[in-house]
Amino acid sequence: MSTLVIADIHLQPNQPNHPINIAFKRFLKEKALNAKTLIILGDLFEVWLGDDISLALFESEIAALRQLSEQNVEILLQYGNRDFLMRKSFCKASGAKLLPEEYEIQVADQNIIMVHGDQLCTADQQYQKMRRWFRNSIIQWIFLHLPKSKRLSIGNKMRNESKQAGSHKSGQLMDVTKEGIAALVQRHPSANILVHGHTHKPTHEQLQVNGKNVQRYVLSDWRPQTSYLSINDNHIQVLDFA
Ligand SMILES: [Mn+2]
């Protein structure tokens, strides 16, 4: 039985027939159904404005997750930089369990550390400052208590602004840094494999981090390459879901 890992699907709200939303639902039925565990490393949803709004906007995708969890596939999910306001109602409706920001698992003799990846982009200080602000529990509480119409308009505004910010920031500024990776690996001394998403630059490489060999896998965002990671007893593979 395998563990499958995906990230950055960016499901589109209120668009059950969007090609990405359809591909995701097919992936659950055709691939994840045969797995023991499905791990989603953040940004499954394009945006999440609170369970009271977004559960209805992703109704068919939540139902598909629920169906999978009812077939005894464990669903584990990390927050991304666009979807970090899922709460108990989301977990209840989908059957998914929320993971900590840094999730370490051991498979055979490998220690794998998994993160969304935005916390590794330490060169972009403006972004990191904003991230700390949005992850503050008081700020989140206030946001979640705003009227629905207000949250929907803030969500639209943020999406437009992040598109614009992304278009004039350099690719390097928005990528992970050596320092970010080194600090993470230092916090997880036994980890020898790092898996993350966020940058939408799929790769598999060998790194020297703090004098030790670390393999780094970056997951794709399914645009267009629909790859995922499959972890078995003792081997890790990047597979493509066409
Ligand atoms: Mn992201």
Interval between CA 116 and ligand 1 midpoint (Å): 7
Res 109: pLDDT = 84
Give the end-to-end CA distance of the chain in Å, rounded to a whole number: 21
Letter string b/e over residues 10-39, b meaning 16 or more CB atoms within 10 A of that residue's CB: bbbbebbeeebbebbbebbeebbeebebbb
Task: State the distance from the centre of ligand 1 to the C-alpha of 68, rounded, in angstroms.
Answer: 24
The answer to whether 45 touches 54, Cβ cutoff 8 Å, is yes
Q: Cα of 171 to ligand 1 centre, how many Å?
A: 14
Using the Cα atoms of residue 39, residue 43, residue 49 and residue 54 in order, give the sign of their dihedral: negative
Q: What pLDDT does 174 receive?
A: 87
The alpha carbon of 121 and the centre of ligand 1 are apart by a number of angstroms equal to 11
pLDDT of residue 167: 65
pLDDT, position 60: 98
Q: What is the pLDDT of residue 166?
A: 65
* 101 alpha carbon – ligand 1 mean position (Å): 13
We report the CATH number of the domain holding residue 95 as: 3.60.21.10
The number of distinct structural domains making up the chain is 1
The predicted pLDDT at position 64 comes to 98
Which parts of the chain register pLDDT below 50?
none
Count the neighbouring beta carbons within 10 Å of the beta carbon of residue 92: 12
Known binding-site residue numbers for substrate: 81-82, 124, 162, 169, 198
Enter the pTM of the model: 0.96
Rounded to the nearest angstrom, the distance between the alpha carbon of 198 and the centre of ligand 1 is 4
Binding residues for Mn(2+): 8, 10, 43, 81, 116, 198, 200
Q: What is the whole-number distance in angstroms between the Cα of residue 188 and the centre of ligand 1?
A: 22
| Helix, strand or coil, per DSSP, at residue 219 | coil
Beta-strand ranges (E) seen in the chain are: 3-6, 37-41, 74-78, 97-98, 103-107, 110-115, 193-196, 203-209, 212-218, 227-231, 236-240
Q: Binding site membership: which residues?
A: 8, 10, 43, 81-82, 116, 124, 162, 169, 198, 200
In contact, 194 and 184? CB cutoff 8 Å: yes
Domain that holds residue 120: 3-240
What is d(CA 201, CA 226) in angstroms, rounded to the nearest whole number? 12
Separation of 156 CA from ligand 1 center, angstroms?
17
The pLDDT score that the predictor gives to residue 233 is: 82
Distance 221 CA to ligand 1 centre (A): 9
Q: How far is the CA of 7 from the centre of ligand 1 (A)?
A: 8
Strand ranges across the sheet with 193-196:
103-107, 110-115, 193-196, 212-218, 203-209
